Every structure is written in C-alpha cells, then in structure tokens.
C-alpha cells in the first residue's frame, strides 16, 4: 500500500510517479477534493485525466480530514497523545465512525486486487491525516510506503502513541 501527497507538483509529475510505482488505483482522501492553488488536482480533473493514463480514481469522502469534535465526532478520549486537536479528532473519527470504517474496509478489498495509493494534499505524511489511516492499515497487517518523491520513500512506522492489540488499533 502506498500514500502520496500531491503538494505543489504538476499533474504530469504526479502521474509519472504513480506510473513508476505501478499504481492502479488512486484513492483521494481529501475532505474537499479541489485546490485553488493547484486546480489540476480537482476531483473533476482527476476523474477525467487519470483513467486515460491507466489509473482509476476514487474519492473516499468518508476518509477526509479536518474533523472536529462536536461536529463530526464525539470525544471518546482516544489519542490524547496527539498535541493537535485535529489529529485527536481524526483518530476518534477513524476508530469510531461507521462510514470511515466501511471506507477503510473498501480500501482493503481494492488493495487485495490492485496496487492502491492513498492521496492527500500534504507532501509529508507525518503532517497529514494519512498517518492515522496508515496506522490503521498497519494494524491490519499491511505494509505502507509513503512516496515523498520519485527517489525518496519511507516505510510507515506506527505513530509513537499507537498500539495494536489483536489487530485493533488504539492510541494511548
């Protein structure tokens, strides 16, 4: 399983990287799949361009970031180790929200058939909610590789406060 942040790349650069890594399905986990700075990464554009380049595109709305307590999820006391309230809220959301759980299970099914990359805007996964999605995938036995650039990848390691007990992710 791969992840990538589109960052300020050109669309051609992103597509070239995805093809070099053999990605067959790009799963967009941005809450709002558009960008004023980089309009070529809008959902509509990616839905049109990627299939013509041999890459399927799926927007997984239920996995979008920017979750808030009281609006998207209740505070279940999960992830108190995160300094960022946004990451705490997202950890609670991923572990307790039914739609998010179903979306994660869909990713597992797709990954069983084809090579999947999960995409958001942020280049650095440790600054992005992809790190929490990646923790969940690792808890299910998957290896996750973050693509930072063509020649720079890192293997995901569980967030320091994450724990996996009998295949279930939790945060201290």
Domains of the chain by residue range: 2-171
Distances (CA, A) of 54 to 49, 50, 82, 102, 166: 9, 6, 38, 26, 37
Let me know how long the chain is: 172
pLDDT tens across the length of the chain (172 residues): 999 999 999 999 999 999 999 999 999 999 999 988 899 999 999 999 999 999 999 999 999 999 999 999 999 999 999 999 999 999 999 999 999 999 999 999 999 999 999 999 999 999 999 999 999 999 999 999 999 999 999 999 999 999 999 999 999 8
Cross-strand bridge partners of residue 132: none
Top-tier CATH class for 2-171: alpha beta
Cβ proximity of 24 and 137 under 8 Å: no
The model's pTM is: 0.96
């Amino acid at each position: 399983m791969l992840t990538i942040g589109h960052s300020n790349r050109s669309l051609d650069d992103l597509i070239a990287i995805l093809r070099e890594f053999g990605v067959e399905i790009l799963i967009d986990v941005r809450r709002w799949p558009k960008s004023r700075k980089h309009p070529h990464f809008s959902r509509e554009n990616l839905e049109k361009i990627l299939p013509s380049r041999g890459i399927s595109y799926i927007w997984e709305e239920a996995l979008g970031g920017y979750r808030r307590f009281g609006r998207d999820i209740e505070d279940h006391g999960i992830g108190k180790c995160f300094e960022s309230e946004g990451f705490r809220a997202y950890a609670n959301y991923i572990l307790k929200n039914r739609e998010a759980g179903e979306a994660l299970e869909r990713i597992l099914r797709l990954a069983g058939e084809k090579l999947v990359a999960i995409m958001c805007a942020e280049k650095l996964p440790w600054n992005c909610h992809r790190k929490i999605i990646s923790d969940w995938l690792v808890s299910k036995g998957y290896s996750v590789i973050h693509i930072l650039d063509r020649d720079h990848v890192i293997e995901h390691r569980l967030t320091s406060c994450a724990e996996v007990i009998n295949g279930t992710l939790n945060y201290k």
